[in-house]
Amino acid sequence: MLSVLISCQELIVIKNLTKRKKAALFLTFIVLAIGIVLYVLADRYLIEHVEVNVAAKTPAAAAPAANPADGTETLQQDDWNYSSADTQIHIKKVESGSGSDKITYFVADVQLTDASVLQSAFAKNAFGRNITEDTSAIAAENGAVFAINGDYYGFRNDGVIVRGGTLYRDEPTRDAMALLSNGTMKAYNEEQLSSAELLAEGVTDTYSFGPILVNDGAIAGDFDKVAIDTNFGNRSIQGSNPRTGIGMIAPNHYVFVVVDGRKDNYSKGMTLTEFANVFTELGASVAYNLDGGGSSTMYFMGRVVNNPLGKQQERGVSDILYIAK
C-alpha cells in the first residue's frame, strides 16, 4: 500500500514537472517569437542597409565677387533671395486663413540657365534602406544654397529610382516624376515607361512618391482615393498635412512649395487638392507631390526656412533635391 502511495506521489511530481516544462517551453516560444518580430521590424524600418556607396560630391567653391568695371553682375544674396550668373532664387512666405484654419507655406521661385545646377543627393552618400540624415545636413555636406526633401525612397522597396543619370532601383509601381537634362520635368507612370526609355530621353533624376498634382496645366484628377504606401506606421496621405512639392513653369523655371502643418494657430497643412491649386495658381504646367509630414523641409542659405511639424525639428530623410552654389 505504501509503495502504491509513493508511486502515485511520483506520478504527481512527474506530471507537475511536465506542466512546468510545457509552460517554460511555451514562454520560451513566446519570447522568441516577440524577438523575431522585433528584429524583423527593426531590420525593415531601422537598421541601415547600404546597397551602393556613392562618391561624395565636392561642394563648389564660392565664386569670387565680380568686378563691376568688367560689366559683369556681382553675386547678390539675402535671407530670401539669391542671384548669380546662372541661378535666381526668390522665396516668399505665404499665410492664409486664421485660427484653426490658418495655413502657412513657403514658395521658392527658381530660374536656372543650366539644368545641371538642380541636383540630387543621398543621405550619407549611400543608396539603400533606412539611411537617413536631416535635409539641412545633406544640403550642407553638398554645398547647397537651396534644398528640399526628396521622396524618402529608403522607406520602401519599390519604385524607379534614377539619380544623377544612374539607375539604382527598377521596381515600377506608381506615378512618378522625372527631371531631364534639357531643364524640363515630366510626370509619368512607371509601369508604362521603362527605365531604359527614360535614360534614352536624357533623364537625370526620378522621384517615386506622388501623386501627380498638375499635368498639362490642369489639376491631375480626384485625390480622394490616392494611396502611396501601405507600410507599417505610415500615415494616410489624405486630409490636411505638411507637404513638399515641385512644379515646372517652363524649362529651367521651377517652383518648390513646402507647407507647414499640425500646429494650431500656425498652420493646419493642406489637402492634396489645395496643394495642387497652389501650383496651378503659380502657373505650373506640371507638378508633383514629394514626401511630406515630418519630412517637409525647405533649406536656404544655411538655415531651415520653414517650421517642420511646428516643432522646429527636422526628421531624417533619405534624399534631397538641391541647387548647388
Percent of the chain with pLDDT over 70: 81
Q: Cell numbers at residue 170, please?
A: 527598377
Q: Check if the beta carbon of residue 237 is closer than 8 Å to that of residue 225.
A: no
pLDDT(177) > 50: yes
Q: What is the pLDDT of residue 28?
A: 72
**How far apart (Å, rounded) are the C-alpha atoms in residues 145 and 280?**
26
Give the alpha-carbon dihedral of 150, 146, 204, 190, to 10 degrees. Answer: 30
Q: Which of 197, 133, 149, 171 has its CA nearest to residue 308?
A: 149
Mean pLDDT of 235-250: 88
Amino acid at 151: D
Q: What is the pLDDT of residue 325?
A: 82
Q: Domain spans of the chain?
A: 1-47, 76-324
**What's the DSSP call for residue 95?**
E
Q: Check if the beta carbon of residue 135 is closer than 8 Å to that of residue 146.
A: no
Q: What is the pTM of this model?
A: 0.85
Classify residue 57 by burial, with Cβ atoms within 10 Å: 0-12, 13-18, 19+. middle
**What's the DSSP call for residue 235?**
P
